[in-house]
Structure 1
Amino acid sequence: MYPPMHFQEHDIKRLKALVEQFPLASILMPSSQSGLNTICHVPVLYEHSRNVFMAHVAKNNPLTQCDEHSVKLLFNGDNCYLSPSYSNNKTLPSWLYSSVQITAKVVIIKSDIEKEKIMNQLTTHFEQPFKPMWNINHVPIRSRQVMYQQLSFIEFTPTHWSGNFKLSQNKSPDVRARIKQSLELANKHSIAQLF
């Protein structure tokens, strides 16, 4: 079984927390030409109350051809090299990471009212760290309408969540505690918090 059971993460709260902290999704779509996946990278916002992800992409993005189809959203948390020195030489060299995979159904938004709502939610959320915050309403309505003609607005409805958190769960509690302490001393706080 891959990933091994001890690296599988099923706690939906931890999965959602990673997605919110690292919102850039690598989205895998089927490709009829090569039989492989086409990949695009899209920042998404998860709306808990409706259990949907929201995003917008350029009109020519291949994702716009996936209306009513399923795609895979991949989210990667922080990662780092695990030196044996982090555990007093009780581990081999390895790599620590966390990732979330979500299968989701694509819905292309047609309503201008919904497009405006999504743009407001996205910009309000991602502008939070900026002072002053930029607001889409500062753009004249006519200019926004022209801009929206160049974009496709999308909602992704998740049908399956899974996580792969490779954080030395197969090691003893004392070894894991030593690794966590070493990560904190190395300023790798986002990974240490997952231990």
Structure 2
Amino acid sequence: MYQPRHFEVRDREAMLALVAAYPLATLVMSTDDGLQANHVPLYVHIGEAGDLQLHGHVARANPLWRDGRADREVLAVFNGPQAYVTPSWYPSKREHGKAVPTWNYSVVHAHGSLRVHDDRHWLRAQVDELTKRHERARDPAWSIDDAPADYLDAMLGAIVGIELRVSRLEGKFKLSQNQPAANKAGVLAGLSAEAAPQARAVADAMRSITLNSTLS
């Protein structure tokens, strides 16, 4: 990933927070038939040795789990909020006109190797954990125990578990850090006034970056 110094993120916790907030990953892998990309929700799991893992599952009919060999590197891309930035928000544009549009976004790349889990115990635990994470704020919260046992057993038989053993994390939060203070303020005000939730989420991310920079 192209990584200008202004936008590079080295804070592991900040990267894992983005992964938790935006768990639908684009999982890219080189196969004998070329590059393959799948879209899979993954969640962070810390192994017994303290190693970072990403757990999920795919349909048994998906060739991803058969194509994933231990010697093949896999890339999981997690996209956070993103939004268009107009030059009209830059005070400097009104001064000299030297401004062009850009895009603000946050992204995390997780590199590693893939391991397959094709056993019911691991799969049930994975689906249970995934469900609890996304149902905990709901009332009533759905549980896998709500499904009939025979139906759940059939559903578990139709999927295969995957585990990405992460060897490297890359974070890039492109949030106007390379702009002068007045331009940053203009972008923040402009995004905050937009109707699109994504734009307001980018504004929140900009505030977080500013706050963290101030605290550090």
On the 8 A contact 1:67/1:108 being kept in 2, the answer is no
Q: Which residue of 2 aligns with 1:80?
A: 83
Supply the distance in 1 between the matched residues of 2:64 and 2:134 (Cα, whole angstroms): 22
Is 1:189 paired with 2:196?
A: no
Q: Taking structure 2 as the reference length, what is the TM-score of the superposition?
A: 0.81
Whose helix proportion is higher, 1 or 2?
A: 2
Give, in angstroms, the shift of residue 59 of structure 1.
0.6
Supply the distance in 2 between the matched residues of 1:145 and 1:32 (Cα, whole angstroms): 32
Is 1:159 paired with 2:167?
A: yes
149-158 or 86-95, larger mean C-alpha shift: 86-95
Letter in 1 for 2:43: L
Is 1:117 paired with 2:125?
A: yes
Letter in 1 for 2:205: L
Q: Taking structure 1 as the reference length, what is the TM-score of the superposition?
A: 0.89
Alignment of 1:93-112 (within 5 A): 93-112=101-120
Supply the distance in 2 between the matched residues of 1:138 and 1:2 (Cα, whole angstroms): 46
Report Cα offsets for 1:55-83 as digits up to 9, x if no partner: 11101212212153431000111111101
Alignment of 1:116-135 (within 5 A): 116-135=124-143
Structure 1 moving runs of 4+ over 4 Å: none
Q: Which residue of 2 aligns with 1:29?
A: 29
Give, in angstroms, the shift of residue 130 of structure 1.
3.0
Percent identity at matched positions?
Answer: 29
Give, in angstroms, the shift of residue 48 of structure 1.
4.7
Uncovered stretches (5+) of structure 2, i.e. residues with no partner: 94-98, 207-216
Is 1:70 paired with 2:73?
A: yes
Supply the distance in 2 between the matched residues of 1:28 and 1:57 (Cα, whole angstroms): 14
Letter in 1 for 2:10: H
Supply the distance in 2 between the matched residues of 1:140 and 1:67 (Cα, whole angstroms): 35
How many correspondences in the alignment?
193
Uncovered stretches (5+) of structure 1, i.e. residues with no partner: none
On the 8 A contact 1:87/1:178 being kept in 2, the answer is yes
Q: Which residue of 2 aligns with 1:61?
A: 62
Supply the distance in 1 between the matched residues of 2:163 and 2:139 (Cα, whole angstroms): 28
149-158 or 105-114, larger mean C-alpha shift: 105-114
Give, in angstroms, the shift of residue 138 of structure 1.
1.7
